[in-house]
Every structure is written in C-alpha cells, then in structure tokens.
Structure 1
Amino acid sequence: MLFRELQSLNIDFFQTAKGFINLLRDPGQTESVHDIEDGLRQAKYTQVAIEYIQSQPGVKPLVEERYLAPPPNLDSLLELPSNSLGYTYASYLTKEGFDPNFYRTLNIEDDTTYIMLRLRQTHDIWHLITGFSTDVVGELGLQAFILAQTRRPMAIVLLAGGLLRALIKSPEEMEKLLDRIAVGYRMGAKAKPFLAQKWEENWEKPISQWRRELGVELAEVYTP
C-alpha cells in the first residue's frame, strides 16, 4: 500500500536519494542539488508548484516566451555604475571566483524544464537582491524565500536537509537557521514575483531600486 502511494508521486527515488545523501555530506555540492531537482521533476507536487508559479502576476508571459538571457559578459558589466545590479553581480562573481554558467543545463521540453533552468540561471541574482549570503545559513534563508515565491519541492528538500544536518553536526546553529528561514519566507511572501523579471535587460538599474520596486524588505542581521 505504502509502496504504491510512493510510486504515485512520480519521484525518481534513486536520483533524489543519491543527491540528498551527498548534500548532507557536503552542502556546497551543486551537483547534488541538481540531482535532487532532476529526481523531483516529474513529481506531482512539482506540477502543482509549476501551476502556482504561473498564476503569479507577470510570470506566465515569460514562461510562454521561454525567455533566457545569453551568458553575461562580466567585463562589460564591470563598466556599469557601482550601485547597479550588473556591476554588483559581476564584481561578486569575480571576487568569489564563481562561474556564471555553473548550473547544469537542461533541454527545455515543457514549462517545468523552462522554469527549472530559469531558476538556475538567475540563482545568484536572487542572492544579491534578497541580501542572503551564499553560506549554508544564507542559502537556507534564500530557499525559504524561494519556497514562498514558488512552492517548489526542491526548496522543501533543501530546507529539511539543512535542518537535519544542523541537528546532527551543529545544533548550536539551529536558532540562527530557524531565524533566517522565517525571515526568508516572510520576505518571499511579501515580494513581487522574481520569476517575472527580465533582470538581464536592466543590468544598469540600481539594486536599491530593484528592491524598492519588488517590495523586498531586507532583514536585520541576526543577533542571538
């Protein structure tokens, strides 16, 4: 009975389990995140999330257009004003040694694969606009923001994995993690849909203006 119910969820259990275990071992493993996400692609709840995402103002036209930006030219972005999204994005990636095309590519076959790819393509932009760092605590805060905006199961899995890992390896971090998760969810619920934005066509716009227009309320830094 339980096995049939699990089968009905349309989850690739091997792919998802492999990614989840590797992620618990090393939270910085991007490939593990992609393994989990690919394993959940056909899950029923993923389809519910896709429907929810497209019901948000301004998102469906971009999905229908299959809008994707070309790879950014970091040198050109560094010539923009220092308060702009483009300059901040390029300087951040350059300083951290990150590749703007770090994500696993997908063949766009339907709305689900398009949205997954667009989320991967703009992940670092979401970090910058929300102000969440790229360490484990910041990533969980961003995942809570993403959950509020998209309802995607991937965010739930990452949040559960992060809390479980903290419970086992660093329980003293739990209060801080829960605070960032709560803050991220509230921010995501209040902000306008990030998936409705063509960020790359407005690189020159100041980050402060993006935040103001999207209703992003930056949280105070956590202090125990």
Structure 2
Amino acid sequence: METKPFRHADRPNMPIRPLKAMRHFRKLIADKEDTRQVFEIIIALDGKEFERDARAFLTSDIGKQRYADHRYLPDVLDDHDSLKQLPEGSVGQAYVAFMEREGLTAAGLVAEYDRFYDESGYPRYDDQMQWYGNRRRDTHDLFHILTGYGRDALGEASVLGFSYGQNRGKGSLFIGYMAALEMKKTLPKNAPTLKSVRQGQRHGNAAHKIIEQDIVALLSEPLDAARARLGIAPPSVYQEVHAMCHENGIDPYGLIAAG
C-alpha cells in the first residue's frame, strides 16, 4: 500500500466559524434532507479538533492496524447479499434491515459527500487525515444500529451526541443540541430532549470507539453481545421521549430531523 503523509502540505487550518454554522443550521431546519448543511456545519466548527483526533487514532497501534488494512467500508456495508447470510440477530442483519427500510446505502452517503465537495469548492487532500474522515463518515449508520437511536429527529440528534462522545467533533454536538432545542417547540414542555442528547454524549464517551473496531468482525457479532462488549448502554431517555410522544398523539418521526 502506498504510504501517504498524515497531513498534506497544502491542507489549510480551518478556523472555528460559529456564525456560519448557525446560518447553515437554519437552512437545515428549513430542509431536513439537505445533507450539505450538515457538512458545512461540521467544517465550520470542528477546527483543530479533527486533526487532533485523527492523529491520536492514526498513531495508536489499533489505528495503524486499521489503516494498514485499508478496507473500503462502503463496499463491505453495501454487500447486502453477504450480510443477509450472517446469523439472525447479528449486527450485520440489523444493519441491512435498517438501511433497506430507510432506503439508504453507504455509497449514497459517499455520493452526497462527493457532490458537496464538488459543488462547494472545498479542496480534498490525498492524505491520512482524509482516510480517517472517510472512516468516520462510513461508520455513521452503524452508530444507529449499535446505540438503538432511530432516524427520527431525536434519534438523529442523540446519535450526534454519541458521535461527539466518540470523536469530539463539535459540529456534531452543535447540531444535536440545536435540533433538540427546536424539538421543544412541538413536544410537551417537559420532554427531556436535551437530556437525551446529553445521554447519547455520555454513552459515546463511555463506550469503546467504534472507529477502532474490525468492522467485518463486528458485523458478524450478535447485536446484544456487541453492545455489551462495546459498553453501549440502552437509550433510556430517548425511549422516554418516544413514550411521551405516543401518549400525546405526536409522531416522533414527523418532527424536524438533525441530519
């Protein structure tokens, strides 16, 4: 495998731009399917934190091993025929059911990401930081499976809290909490939406890092066993809010989504 620099010589430092993040968040609220706004917010807020996280991973023994494997995860995750052959109750079977139910593919997320960069004019660099960012992107939907958070508004917000606990990306945390605040406008006043994101954050911080895992082996594990091994606790506050929604005749999937 060709050795690439950790950071390309032309890669600039990205300043923190909170006002830009807020502008793009308002656009995201206006069109919850506009994934471009999610990418814009992440770029506006992650700053040097992304590089620090990437360096910590890629200089660790497990990070070096994963980088040496250089497996392209979208091909693995989109091979639904193979994943359906895994045992019933496995992470892989749960992942396929989720992705097919939601009409999603790993390649589709890559295409959205590529289109964003092509249209926005942001440069991309062929370095190890790019590989690390791609791995974070490609494992996102596995977070939903392993945490138990759905793709409803609060599920997306809470899984972004979990993502921050795992990877320290301030953009994810910003979207999660801002979306939770938006949901308070349409949910019962005592619905603990912010608490759900905070719990996701705590769970992400306490769990073993999913980005470090052998994803092929993880897909073969029984889902309950994988959650126990990784130290991922049940999303009790999220479940509490869903129960409150149903008691009040509110469809939690009809609220704004976080991304």
TM-score, length-scaled by structure 2: 0.69
Query: In the alignment, is residue 37 of structure 1 matched against residue 24 of structure 2?
Result: no
Is the 8 Å Cα contact of residues 162 and 200 (structure 2) preserved in structure 1?
yes
Name 2:85's counterpart in structure 1.
79
Cα-to-partner distance string for 1:143-172 (whole Å, 9 max, x where unaligned): 1111111111221221243134335x4363
Name 2:138's counterpart in structure 1.
121
Cα-to-partner distance string for 1:175-212 (whole Å, 9 max, x where unaligned): 33122112212211211111101213442221112112
Is the 8 Å Cα contact of residues 137 and 176 (structure 1) preserved in structure 2?
no
Query: In the alignment, is residue 22 of structure 1 matched against residue 27 of structure 2?
Result: yes
The 5 A counterparts of 1:33-182 are 33-40=38-45, 43-51=47-55, 58-63=62-67, 66-71=70-75, 72-103=78-109, 104-105=113-114, 109-166=126-183, 169-170=185-186, 172=188, 175-182=191-198
Query: In the alignment, is residue 203 of structure 1 matched against residue 219 of structure 2?
Result: yes
Is the 8 Å Cα contact of residues 108 and 114 (structure 1) preserved in structure 2?
no
RMSD of equivalent CA atoms = 3.0
* Distance in 2 separating the partners of 1:173 and 1:114: 43
Q: Secondary structure at the match of 1:33?
A: helix
Work out the percentage of aligned pairs sharing the same amino acid: 22
User: Aligned in 2, Cα 1:196/1:97: closer, same or farther, shift over 3 Å?
Assistant: same
Is the 8 Å Cα contact of residues 58 and 196 (structure 1) preserved in structure 2?
yes
Name 1:189's counterpart in structure 2.
205
* Distance in 1 separating the partners of 2:190 and 2:130: 33
Choose between structure 1 and 2 for higher RCO, CA contacts under 8 A separated by at least 6 residues: 2
* Distance in 2 separating the partners of 1:79 and 1:141: 31
* Distance in 2 separating the partners of 1:114 and 1:55: 14
* Distance in 2 separating the partners of 1:38 and 1:84: 34
2:228 pairs, out of 190, 205, 212, with 212
Q: Secondary structure at the match of 1:132?
A: coil
Task: Give ranges in structure 2 of 5+ residues lacking alignment.
Answer: 1-12, 118-123, 245-259
Amino acid of the residue matched to residue 131 of structure 2? Y
Task: Give ranges in structure 1 of 5+ residues lacking alignment.
Answer: 1-7
